[in-house]
Copies of this chain bind each other. A is one copy, B any other.
Amino acid sequence: MYHYTAIVTCLAVALHFFFALQVARARALYGVKLPAITGNPDFERVYRIQMNTLEWAPIFLPSLWLFAIYIGDAAAAAVGAVWVIGRIVYFLGYREAVPKRTPGFAIQALACTVLWVGALGGAVWRLVH
Instruction: Give me the interface of A with B, judged by CB distance under 8 Å.
Output: 1, 3-4, 6-7, 9-10, 12-14, 16-17, 20, 33-38, 41, 44-45, 47-48, 50, 54-59, 61-63, 66, 69-70, 98, 101, 112, 116, 119-120, 122-124, 126-127
In terms of DSSP, what is the predominant structure of the interface of chain A? helix
Of B14, B57, B119, B127, which is within 8 A of A116 by CB? B14
Residues of B contacting A69 with CB < 8 Å? 1, 6
Tell me the smallest distance from the CB of A2 to a CB of chain B, in Å: 9
Bound-state Cα–Cα, A38 to B20, Å: 20
5 closest A-B pairs by beta carbon, nearest first, are: A35-B44, A57-B58, A6-B123, A10-B120, A3-B127
